[in-house]
A and B are shown apart, each in its own frame.
Chain A
Amino acid sequence: MRRVVVTGLGLVTPLADGVEETWKRLLAGQSGAGTITQFDASQLATDYACEVKRGDGSDGTFNPDKYMEPKDQRKVDDFILFGIAAAQQAVEDSGWVPQTEKDRARTGVLIGSGIGGLKSIEQTTLLIKEKGPRRVSPFFIPGALINLISGQVSIRYGFKGPNHSVVTACSTGAHALGDAARLIKYGNADVMVAGGAEAAVCEIGIAGFNACKALSTKHKAEPQKASRPYDADRDGFVMGEGAGIVVLEELEHAKARGAKIYAEVLGYGLSGDAYHITAPNEDGDGAERAMRMALSDAGLAPADIDYINAHGTSTMADVIELGAVERLMGNAASKVTMSSTKSMTGHLLGAAGAIESIFAILALRDQVCPPTINLDTPAVDTMVDLAPNQARHREVKVVVNNSFGFGGTNASLVLGLAS
């Protein structure tokens, strides 16, 4: 049986550009939320989000010039720019540089997005209305297509293995990691660059989620208090943007080249709710079955789980996931720590499962679980430790990442320290 390990990490988040800087701020309980700067959102029900902070690269700001030449940046939507940046970090972190044509053919890319180039679609639509169809850029379509991060990354590094992409709304990132791990297990590739990216903080993005009644609207005065999973005063999610990318590698391949191994992908589970286009089924059955499948794949019992990075979006659905975890864990629920890092990063939609899996991997590395901030008045009583407002230092050997998406699509990943 081929085993899959994680050998590289890359992050662009609303907290910071880079893995270590993001992780430091996450453990300190910092929020990435603020009033939207990319466009005038004053007329919208929600005028705040967790945006990637652009700058010269100092103090954790995101400097796109580190990752792409300025002339090429305007040929891609921001979700592709974020994806390429996080992929560059992950590939460099892994140290994997294929030397032969065979190595290149055994290295693939599987990066997805929930929505793709929404900003470009919005801007190009306005341009057509104003100046006519002849003004549409030849780079509009290739700059907006969801699979073009996978394409761009393969071109940049010469990775000629499986080139694929995932689109499953807010489960995209978790599905991308799980599917990529399967491609390695099945023998289609030895190395996969996998993850998710999103950049939907634009007028139609915010207005669209507002229309679904999915976004928080009541915290214009204090955006940093808006994302508050499990809290009685939560009123919807706060949109985030950025990307999370990992390098997955077959264990023996990683060992043979002396790669640094962060964690092993132990199990992957998927399920569908078959219930509603935006709401999860209140019985939480889909979430529970995804977790059970992932544990079964890993050959582990519920009681083996130390930390769960929850989907926990700061909506009514938080308690549905919590209920599923309580049923899954039974009496062991009192021993697990489960936090929602969306309280700090906001909800990165198609990138969420990827960045949150990276946080779970870092929890394994450093034996500390990031907190759920703004959890002041828990909405429900639970035996589960939700790590309210303080990072939890504890033994962490097995972690789970949950991601659930519109359409009723659920994914769970089980990761552990590679033995």
Chain B
Amino acid sequence: MSDVADRVRKIVVEHLGVEEEKVTENASFIDDLGADSLDTVELVMAFEEEFGIEIPDDAAETIQTFGDAVKFISEAQ
């Protein structure tokens, strides 16, 4: 597992209060991990902070699963 995935998983676990095992590749933040729309905004902000990147709003809307987040961040770095 890549360093990016580990760091993203840590943020997701911390912000959504979910078990680490549930944060799988295809886990949807809203459908599977109990996030609401405000939680997802906060998650994206936490990713920006952690990785020192900027995620524009239109890109943020495409980040719906853990896998989406890891892929976007890996490419953005």
Q: Interface of A with B (CB < 8 Å)?
A: 69-72, 134-135, 137-139, 142
Contact = CB atoms under 8 A, between A and B. Distances in A.
Interface in B18-77: 38, 41-42, 45, 48-49, 54
B48 to A, nearest CB: 8
17 contacts: A69-B17, A70-B17, A71-B14, A71-B15, A71-B16, A71-B17, A72-B17, A134-B45, A134-B48, A134-B54, A135-B45, A135-B49, A138-B41, A138-B45, A139-B38, A139-B42, A142-B38
Contacts of A134: 45, 48, 54
A71 B16 CA distance: 6
Interface of B: 14-17, 38, 41-42, 45, 48-49, 54
Max chain B Cβ within 10 angstroms of own Cβ: one of A69, A71, A134, A137? A71
B10 to A, nearest CB: 13
B42 A138 contact: yes
Contacts of A142: 38
Nearest to A135: B45
Nearest to A70: B17
A142 B48 CA distance: 22
Contacts of B49: 135
Nearest to B17: A71
A128 B64 CA distance: 27
Max chain B Cβ within 10 angstroms of own Cβ: one of A72, A135, A138? A138
A103 to B, nearest CB: 27
Contact of B42 (A69, A70, A137): A137
B29 to A, nearest CB: 13
Contacts of B17: 69-72
A138 B38 contact: yes
A137 B45 contact: yes
Contacts of B48: 134
A139 B36 CA distance: 11
Nearest to B41: A138
B41 to A, nearest CB: 4
B44 to A, nearest CB: 10
Q: Which 4 A-B pairs have the closest CB atoms?
A: A71-B17, A138-B41, A138-B38, A138-B42
Nearest to B15: A71
Contacts of A69: 17
Contacts of A135: 45, 49
Given A71-B16, A138-B38, A138-B42, 9 more contacts: A70-B17, A134-B45, A134-B48, A135-B49, A137-B42, A137-B45, A138-B45, A139-B42, A142-B38
Nearest to B42: A138
Contacts of A139: 38, 42
A134 B48 CA distance: 10
Nearest to B44: A138
A304 to B, nearest CB: 51
A135 B48 CA distance: 9
A135 B16 CA distance: 18
B52 to A, nearest CB: 12
A275 B56 CA distance: 52
Contacts of B42: 137-139
Contacts of B14: 71
A357 B52 CA distance: 51
A134 B41 CA distance: 11
A383 to B, nearest CB: 57
A68 B48 CA distance: 27
A8 to B, nearest CB: 29
Contacts of A137: 42, 45
B8 to A, nearest CB: 16
